[in-house]
Amino acid sequence: MSTVIQHIETLLVDLPTIRPHKLSMATMACQTMVIVRMRHSDGIEGLGEGTTIGGLAYGPESPESIKRNIDTYLAPLLIGQPSTNIHSLRTRLNRHARGNMIAKSALETALLDAQGKRLDLSISELLGGHQQAHLPVLWTLASGDTAKDIDEALLRLEQRRHCDFKLKIGANPVDQDVRHVAAIKEALGDRASVRVDVNQAWDESVAVRGIQALQDAGIDLIEQPIPAREHAGLVRLANRFNVPMLADEAVQDARDGLGLICRGFSGAYALKLAKAGGIYGALELAHVAQAAGIGLYGGTLLEGTIGTAASLHAWSILPEMAWGTEMFGPLLQKDDIVVEPLNYTEFGVEVPKGPGLGMTLDEDKLAHYARK
């Protein structure tokens, strides 16, 4: 008799951050995660996480809608289905439910976690084995205060925690943002790589002026300077400047990635499980990018440890992440809901070991932070 999915529980978990995290579209002092607990008829429980940024400020899914849509629409599609045919279950979800990529990602992670536990294999082993056991991790400087950001970066360098830094800009006038970024780059010099994420805040004419100034200041990478759907503009910017453009919101999946390549884009792609509906979708985009010589970057929606571990397993099987990763979400949170946190060391993080995700929930912490 085949193993089937018996029950799917979702929990909203609110974890405070170590400091306000300022983005172009929101400022966060708390991160809300949707934790999925998927129980199977063989007694195994798979864990997943769906997380976004700033409620509805970032995209069409909020934590509350992720939970509600899993409970109401997606979980019933999976309950009673065989547990081990993950590709068939992905197809079933996509056939009956449009969008909801973060929710689908959380469910796919839970399926893979359970299958790994079932076979005593890590998720990276399920996917063929890791090629990198340690991945570089940058840190986002997002206090909005230049002096505080410089002090924070210098401390992270001294701790050997991070040597690459990203600045969230776009909420302020472009000249003010450029002065802020240029001052930080000047203070850090050649000791660190400095990049910026504009989070779609500029139009193309503003972007031309801002990117030129940032390039002159020695910034290494410009992430999503203009709105996601303006593919032609992003290609023009990529071809106009020497500093590379990083496409993030513009590339949700492999189809988007192929479309940008066909338009002549050169630069880099940010991979995110949440954009692509899970590990398999993100890896499909990665393979398209690799075939075209597009550099890769492991992105985050500031997931907690469960979601971050899933991403690390995915990125670890790729031969190279030319621009590293930003899998620092757990470090931004004041506490954790797992027994053994991820090991951040030597400017990066170790890929977790053990069956499935390699993570065990701390039931007391989960109960404390779960929304009542």
CA–CA distance, 195 with 225 (Å, rounded to integer): 12
- Quick one: average pLDDT of 128-149? 94
More confident residue, 21 or 126: 126
For residue 61, how many C-alpha atoms fall within 13 Å in the half-sphere facing its CB? Answer: 25
Rounded to two decimals, what is the model's pTM? 0.95
**Distance in angstroms (rounded) separating the CA atoms of residues 306 and 38:** 14
**3-class DSSP state of 309:** helix
Q: Mean pLDDT, to the nearest integer, of 6-18? A: 96
> What confidence tier does 25 reach under pLDDT thresholds 50, 70, 90?
low
Strands 348-350 and 134-136: antiparallel
**What is the rounded CA–CA span in Å between residue 77 and residue 82?**
11
Q: 61 falls in which pLDDT band (50, 70, 90)?
A: very high
The model's pLDDT over 74-88, given as tens digits with 9 standing for 90+, comes to: 999 999 999 999 999
The full set of domain ranges for the chain reads: 5-120+363-369, 126-350
The packing angle between helices 254-262 and 279-292, to 10°, is: 20
**Contacts (Cβ under 8 Å, ≥6 apart) of 43:** none
| pLDDT computed for residue 143 by the predictor | 84
Going by their DSSP bridges, the two strands 295-298 and 268-271 should be labelled as parallel
Place of tokens 């993950």: 86
Residue 27 reports pLDDT greater than 90 = no
Burial of 308 (C-beta count, 10 Å sphere; 0-12/13-18/19+): buried
pLDDT of residue 170: 92
- The pLDDT value recorded for residue 144 is 84
Neighbours of 195 (CB within 10 A): 25
The yes-or-no answer on residue 350 being catalytic is: no
What confidence score (pLDDT) does residue 54 get? 81
Does residue 13 or residue 18 have the better pLDDT? 13
The superfamily (CATH) of domain 5-120+363-369 is Enolase-like, N-terminal domain (3.30.390.10)
The pLDDT tens digits of the residues spanning 218-227 come to: 999 999 999 9
User: What is the average pLDDT value for the chain, to the nearest integer?
Assistant: 95
Which pLDDT score is estimated for 23? 66
CB 124 within 8 A of CB 336: no
When pLDDT is cut at 50, 70 and 90, the band that residue 295 belongs to is: very high
What's the pLDDT at 301? 94
Assess whether pLDDT exceeds 90 at residue 64. Answer: yes
Q: Which of 168, 185, 272, 275 is catalytic?
A: 168
Q: Which two tokens stand for residue 259?
A: 């479309």
For 126-350, CATH number out of 3.60.70.12, 3.40.50.2300, 3.40.50.1000, 3.20.20.120 equals 3.20.20.120
Is 168 a catalytic site residue? yes
Is residue 118 pLDDT above 90, yes or no? yes
As a residue count, the chain comes to 372
Tokens describing residue 255: 């189809």
Check residue 59 and give its pLDDT: 85
Q: What is the pLDDT of residues 343-356, one digit of tens each?
A: 999 999 999 999 99
The CA–CA distances, whole Å, from 85 to 91, 93, 102 equal 10, 13, 20
The pLDDT of 55-73, averaged and rounded, is 94
Residue 153 has pLDDT above 70, yes or no: yes
Query: Is 356 within 8 Å of 116 (Cβ atoms)?
Result: yes
pLDDT tens for each residue of 304-328: 999 999 999 999 999 999 999 999 9
